[in-house]
Amino acid sequence: MEQLSDKMQTLLRLALCGGGAVLLYGGAMKLPALEDRRAWLEEHKLQVIALGAAALFGLSLLVLPRPEGGSEQETPDYCDGYEPVE
């Protein structure tokens, strides 16, 4: 259950970073300083948004790192006669 919660938090963080990247892209398209690069930005819209989301995700991990203590897993109880293969 703990692992599911950890995955959900990571997916939420990724979704928020993706939304932030879309907002940043929309704001960048309105900047007059990027007027000469607007055609390239429009042509590579998906790549620019994906790169922005990846950068925001990396920054979010630097600012708010994931907790390290919760990743330890307990050893499962084995049934009689069962031996795990390593």
Q: Is residue 9 part of a domain?
A: no
Q: Is residue 51 part of a domain?
A: yes
Instruction: Count how many domains the chain has.
Output: 1
Range of the domain at 51: 35-62
Q: With contact defined as beta carbons under 8 Å apart, do 52 and 25 qualify?
A: yes
Residue 71 tokens read as 């990743």
**pLDDT value at position 46?**
97
Per-residue b/e over 8-28, b at no fewer than 16 CB within 10 Å? eeeeebeeebbebbeebbeee
Answer yes or no: is pLDDT of 11 > 90.
yes
Residues 8-33 have a mean pLDDT of 95
52: in domain? yes
Would 13 be classed as within a structural domain?
no
In a domain, 45, yes or no: yes
User: pTM for this one?
Assistant: 0.71
Establish if 49 belongs to a structural domain.
yes
pLDDT in tens, 54-82: 999 999 999 988 877 654 556 656 676 77
- How do residues 23-47 score in pLDDT, each as one tens digit? 999 999 999 999 999 999 999 999 9
